[in-house]
Amino acid sequence: MEKKNKIIMGLAIGAVVLAVASGAARCSMTQPSESAPQSSDAAAEAQQQEAQTAGDSPAADPDLSLIENTEWQSGDGKSTLTVMPGVLIEKSETGESLLYYEASDIIETDSGITANLSVSKEKGGKETQAALAVTKGNGQMTLACDALATDYSMKTGESSIALAGADENLTGLYGRESGDFAAAISKWASAKSPYATKATWTKEVWIDYGSGSKVTTFVLDDGARSVVSVTLSANGELVAS
């Protein structure tokens, strides 16, 4: 009888242990499902904040890219100005001068650009402040700056560029006519070097057999002796840059 009681007691204790374990298992299984809506809400809130942040991102700051890498001419035709990133190069009958600059307070509108320049004759030298104003209209742009010897202008209409040195070696390799090259270079020069009238082929061609593109170069007759690259892409587009 005593042995039977011990067996019954052991079964009862085992049942209690199983009940407790079952309850713990149910708790551990129900907790994630209860917290799932909270995780979903948190993810939705995070996505909403990211979308709001993206929508509030400021537009790109204005810069001087419109006039960089361009050549200008004075009204009397005796001086030229080349605008490079960070440096202004003036050439006249008396020689050449360089002004290094940093631009601030840049404002760009449909009619032109205004900015304040900190200029120096040497890199890291003593700086002075100068106002810059670029106006657009009537097929040209005009540039005025307190630090320059005179005002300058640049045509913005497309000019016609004559080719020199181009022959059947170029046209045959590219499968294009000379006029196609002249048109591509003229389009580029109208914005970057409007006073150039001739482009001389360097007789050098680079072929990328991987992409199927071809690149050749021309030298313009402007004051900076600008080098123009003409690329024929794999899809047949001819572009000067």
- Whole-prediction pTM: 0.47
Residues 219 and 172 in one domain: yes
Residues 135 and 75 in one domain: yes
User: In sequence order, which residues have a C-beta less than 8 Å from that of residue 58 and are 6 or more positions away?
Assistant: none
Please tell me the total number of residues recorded for the chain in this structure.
241
Alpha helices in the chain (DSSP H): 2-55, 168-174, 178-192
Residues 129 and 188 in one domain: no
**Bridge partners of residue 117, in order along the sequence:** 103, 130
**24 falls within a domain:** yes
Tens of each residue's pLDDT in the chain, 241 residues: 454 444 444 444 444 444 444 444 444 444 444 444 444 455 545 555 554 444 444 455 778 888 888 888 998 889 999 999 999 999 988 899 999 999 999 998 877 899 999 999 998 889 999 999 998 766 678 999 999 999 998 877 655 788 889 888 988 889 988 888 988 888 888 777 777 788 999 999 999 998 889 999 999 988 788 899 999 988 888 888 8
Residues 29 and 98 in one domain: no
Q: Which of 155, 171, 198 is the last residue of a domain?
A: 155
**119 falls within a domain:** yes
Containing structural domain, residue 115 = 70-155
Burial status of residue 27 (CB atoms within 10 A of its CB: 0-12, 13-18, 19 or more)? exposed
Residues 25 and 91 in one domain: no
222: how many CB neighbours lie within 10 A of its CB?
A: 20
**Bridge partners of residue 58, in order along the sequence:** none
Residues 137 and 185 in one domain: no
